[in-house]
Each structure stands twice: as structure tokens, then as C-alpha cells.
Structure 1
């Protein structure tokens, strides 16, 4: 049961590899946008209540919270994605040329095994077995498990 969890985890990481790269770029864009964005102080808005309440709802306070917390949250998220991508990259470096080619076709280009088999001039069963071997090889490298 545990191996299935890790097996699916490796496949999920490989399928989402390009999306993780794009997310890191988008976080960088968002961080740059936050640096350039500043609303400043303003008068009371219609969303704010003029009567005394126990709830803090000042535009200045809300902006200060956003300006301080959001960049930190984005930096933490970016760091986690970068670490995960580096783990995947390090693990992929251990693959042979044929194994890496299958990973690219299956996970990065999302091709079916029938098409992959035609491209690498092998049968479908060989491709399925090789994929399984590759994933089992990557599990301890990506998830830092003892072999």
C-alpha cells in the first residue's frame, strides 16, 4: 500500500513538472507586481463601517497585512516548488538515455504507450514494464527512502 502512494506521487510529480516550473515563474511575476503595487492611505470606503465594531476593517491595516504576509507566503511556496523540482531533476539524472526518453514522451509530452512504442520501436508491454522500472528507481531518490 505504501509503495502505491509513492508510485503515484512520483507519477504526479512527473506529470506536473512543467506546471511547477510555470508556477515558479508566476510567483516571481506576482512578487515583482507586489513590489510595484502600493495603494497608500485613503479615506473611509463604503465597505468599511463608520460605527464602532470589534472587527478591524481598515484599508490601511488590510494593506499592511497583505504587503507583509503575502510576499512571505509566496516565497515559501516558491522555495518548496524549487526544492521539489531539484529533487526530480537530481533523480532524472540517474536515468539512462532510453529511460529518460520514455519519461519525456510519457510524462512531459503525455503520449499514450501505443504511440511511445512506435516512436522507440518497441512493443507496448516493453514500454509499460520500463515505465514501472523507472518509477520504482525514482521513488527512493525523490522521497529520500532507504532502498
Structure 2
């Protein structure tokens, strides 16, 4: 159970970076697609080199780019799936629970807010916030 708890917390802590990573993949894919616009095919009419290879360096480059493009598309699909699962799970939470998650996991700080700081913000004790967090993570565990 502790492994699942840590897994869910890890997903929540990494949510913002997942979104940034997804945008980065999309930018890379957009760049690759723009590179393709200038490429045109050339017919060799069966002329081959001494190695009997009909592939040129340009064709090899295009094949590599196509594989990179496919890899990026798969990464985008997987990242979008992970983000959607988190967003779907967060929809289960009430406003108070969502506020706690935002304060603890989605903060812009390098280090998460302490339970004392979160308690002060939410007008609860730090102990109550820790208990709420445990309940929230357990609620999300079956979905994320």
C-alpha cells in the first residue's frame, strides 16, 4: 500500500512537469513536420550503387526523422493519457481537498509547503491536513 501511496504522490508532484514535457514534445514534433515540407522524392529508375543499395543519405535521414516523429507521437499520446488520468481523478475531489492538493503538490516552490504552512492557509492543524492528504491520496490511488 505504501508503494501505491508513493506512486500517487509522485504523479501529483510531477503533474506540472508532465505538462511542460508534453508541450516540449509537441514543439519538437511541430519542428519535425515543418522540416518535411521542403522534402521531395527523386526517382532512381533502378540505378544502384556498388553495394546494391538504393537508399541515399537523404532517404536514410528521412527514415530516421520518420522514426523520431513516430516516437514523439507515442510519447505525446502517453503523456496526454497520464495527464488526463490525473485531471480525471482530481475531479473526484471537493473544493477543500483540491485546495490541499494544489498547496501541497502544485506549488511553484522548489520545495513543497510544510504541513504547518498548509494548515495555516486552510485554517486547520497540520495534523488534520496530513490526515486529509492521506485520505485524498488513497481516494486517488485507484484511479491514477
Q: Considering the TM-score relative to the shorter chain, is it more than 0.5? A: yes
Alpha-carbon distance, 1:61 to partner? 4.7
Mark the runs of 5 or more structure 2 residues left unpaired by the alignment: 40-49
Displacement of 1:113 in angstroms is: 1.0
Q: Indicate which of 93, 97, 100 corresponds to 1:99.
A: 97
In the other structure, the counterpart of 2:81 is 83
Please say which of residues 90-99 and 31-40 is displaced more in the overlay: 31-40
State the SS of the aligned residue for 2:142: helix
TM-score w.r.t. the length of structure 2 is 0.80
Distance 1:138 1:7 in 2: 9
CA distance in 2, matches of 1:135, 1:71: 36
How far apart, in 1, do the equivalents of 2:60 and 2:123 lie?
A: 60
SS at match of 1:11: helix
Distance in 2, matches of 1:33 and 1:119, equals 43
**Would you say 1:8 and 2:6 are equivalent positions?**
yes
Alignment correspondent of 1:45 = none
Query: Structure 1 unaligned runs (5+)?
Result: 41-51, 143-147
2:124 aligned residue: 122
What is the RMSD of the two structures over their aligned residues, measured on CA atoms? 2.0
CA distance in 1, matches of 2:143, 2:3: 15
Cα-to-partner distance string for 1:9-52 (whole Å, 9 max, x where unaligned) = 11111001111111111111101111122697xxxxxxxxxxx9
Q: Return the offset for 1:5.
A: 1.7
Residue from 9, 17, 20 that aligns with 1:19: 17
Instruction: Tell me which stretches of 4 or more aligned residues in structure 1 moved more than 6 Å.
Output: none
Pairs within 5 Å for 1:7-86? 7-37=5-35, 59-86=57-84
| TM-score (norm: length of structure 1) | 0.78
- Distance in 1 (alpha carbons) for counterparts of 2:116 and 2:35: 50
